[in-house]
């Protein structure tokens, strides 16, 4: 319906759902709670500083910027944005890395429900 995604997995960018562990360590995302994705600790750094840091912005834009050509050319791209980057571990039909392992199912889903959803959107407009 022309509105932005309401969940991070279907959004063009990610990085707005930081995770904070019990020890105060903050991470770029709850799917990336690994030392390499630590943004710092809230006992030493303000959460806003971590959330709006260049590192976190880079993390968020990488979702879109790291897409394989196969995905960038897909007619369903603006509906799925290749889901979560943590699931991009298979190769495209052309052999390029970075395809989401759920891609074939996501494509079939959108092929199936697309006509009905477009009709519903026209009725709601």
Catalytic residues: 30
- Alpha-carbon distance 63 to 24, whole Å? 25
d(CA 59, CA 37): 9
- Residues facing 116 on adjacent strands: none
Q: How far apart are CA 82 and CA 74, in angstroms?
A: 10
């Amino acid at each position: 319906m022309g509105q932005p995604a309401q969940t991070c997995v279907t959004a063009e960018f990610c990085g707005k759902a930081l995770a904070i562990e019990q020890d105060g360590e903050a991470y770029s995302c709850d799917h990336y709670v690994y030392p390499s994705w630590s943004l710092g600790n809230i006992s030493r750094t303000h959460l806003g500083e971590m959330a709006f840091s260049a590192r976190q912005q880079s993390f968020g834009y990488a979702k879109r910027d790291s897409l394989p050509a196969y995905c960038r050319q897909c007619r369903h791209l603006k509906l799925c944005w290749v889901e979560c980057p943590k699931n991009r571990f298979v190769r495209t039909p052309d052999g390029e890395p970075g395809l989401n392992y759920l891609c074939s199912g996501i494509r079939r889903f959108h092929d199936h429900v697309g006509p009905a959803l477009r009709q519903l959107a026209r009725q709601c407009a």
